[in-house]
Amino acid sequence: MALLKESSADMKSNIKLIDARGPRFSAALTTLVLGLALVTQSTILIALQLLVFAVGAFAGPAKTPYAFLFKKFIRPRLRGDIPVEDVRPPQFAQSIGLIFATIAFLGSLLALPALFIIATGFALAAAFLNAAFDFCLGCEIYLIGVRALKR
Amino acid sequence: MKSLAPLLIILLLSSVFGVRYKRSRGEFRRKKTVNGPVIDAKSMGIELGSRVTMLQFSSAFCSPCRATKALLENMVVDMPDVKYAHIDAESHLELVRELDVRSTPTTLFLNGAGIEVGRAMGTPKRSQVLAAVNAIS
């Protein structure tokens, strides 16, 4: 995260920047929805979150309904410098969320509660860590993935 | 079978992990063994600093990498015997494996001979960088 005034170099290099507080707010809402989905074992809730993850992963984290709520209701109430971040880290996190939500959804459809609980649990843990501790999923798992897959 | 237990277990475990994660960000960890591979100017793209070189590994899906780069670039301006090098981890996998870099940003602190003395993961505070640099003779 860098402040807006430092970002002139990024403007030149075509890196898309978004308000860094948006993904953090979205992570808090995601935590709430996944927590409710886990407790109620609701297929509908996990399906809705899956759709949100899909939008975030393919169209970008600034295009989700959660980002819309942030822009409409939260951002107008925030003051101070706008911290910006590269769009790619939160988009990567949305893709990982999408994978876990898809597994959880399948677990729910196929009546495999253990699969549902484990997959929802991983997505919930990641969203909660992001919201509460500013945990950066891409920082921790991307390089390990590349190291394992690329020769 | 609906239950609150999975939710509570996940929140508890994540909180323990989160507190440790937060506390460990930027912390300088001294390398246990003294010898290690010599990292030369060729693999870094810049000449070694006469006393310390800070070598940062970054990746595309990493927000704190930008903040770390901005901080370290800014700090070396006032330190003539310290240099800063920035490497994209994904395009230097051989070096990443040799040095066992697992997450980004990871900043290696090299001595004048180009050997790692210790490293810090995550964005360090200014004071943590100063302490690390001063601990290297």
Q: What is the pLDDT of residues A129-145, one digit of tens each?
A: 999 999 999 999 999 99
What pLDDT shows up at residue A13?
A: 61
Q: At B27, which amino acid appears?
A: E
Query: Taking CB atoms and an 8 Å limit, are A139 and B93 in contact across chains?
Result: no
* Cβ neighbours of residue A147 closer than 8 Å, sequence gap 6 or more: B93, B96, B97, B102
For residue range B76-124, list pLDDT tens digits in order: 999 999 999 999 999 999 999 999 999 999 999 999 999 999 999 999 9
B128 closest CA partner among B49, B23, B39: B23
The answer to whether residue A124 sits within a structural domain is yes
Within a domain: A93: yes
Cβ A1–B15 below 8 Å, yes or no? no
A117, A136, A143 member nearest B101 (Cβ):
A143
Tell me if B6 is assigned to some domain.
no
Which tokens sit at B77?
Answer: 């301006």
pLDDT at position B2 is 82
pTM score, whole prediction: 0.90
**What pLDDT score does B1 carry?**
63
> Is the CB of A139 less than 8 angstroms away from the CB of B62?
yes
Map residue A44 onto helix, strand or coil: helix
The boundaries of the domain holding residue B74 are 26-134
Residues sharing a CB contact under 8 Å with residue A49, sequence separation 6 or more, in sequence order: A30, A33, A34, A37, A97, A101, A123
Q: How many domains does chain A have?
A: 1
In a domain, B125, yes or no: yes
- Half-sphere exposure of B48 toward its Cβ, with a 13 Å CA cutoff? 18
Q: What is the CATH number of the domain that holds B61?
A: 3.40.30.10
> How distant is the Cα of A11 from the closest Cα of chain B, in angstroms?
14
Question: Nearest CA of chain A to the CA of B32: how many Å?
Answer: 23
- Check: CB of residue A106 under 8 Å from CB of residue A115: yes
Is A4 among the domain residues? no
Interface list for B 51-90 with A (CB within 8 A): 57, 59-67, 70, 89-90
B4: in domain: no
pLDDT tens digits, one per residue of A65-105? 999 999 999 999 999 899 999 999 999 999 999 999 999 99
> If we measure between CA atoms, which residue out of A32, A24, A51, A41 comes closest to residue A130?
A24
Distance CA A86, CA A138 (A): 12
Contact pairs from chain A to chain B, CB under 8 Å: 108
Structural domain count of chain B: 1
Is A30 or B40 the better-scoring residue by pLDDT?
A: A30
A12 occurs within a structural domain: no
Q: How much is the ipTM here?
A: 0.90
Residue at B129 is within a domain: yes
DSSP B89: G
Q: Does B24 touch chain A (CB under 8 A)?
A: no
Q: Which residue segment(s) compose the domain that A113 sits in?
A: 17-149
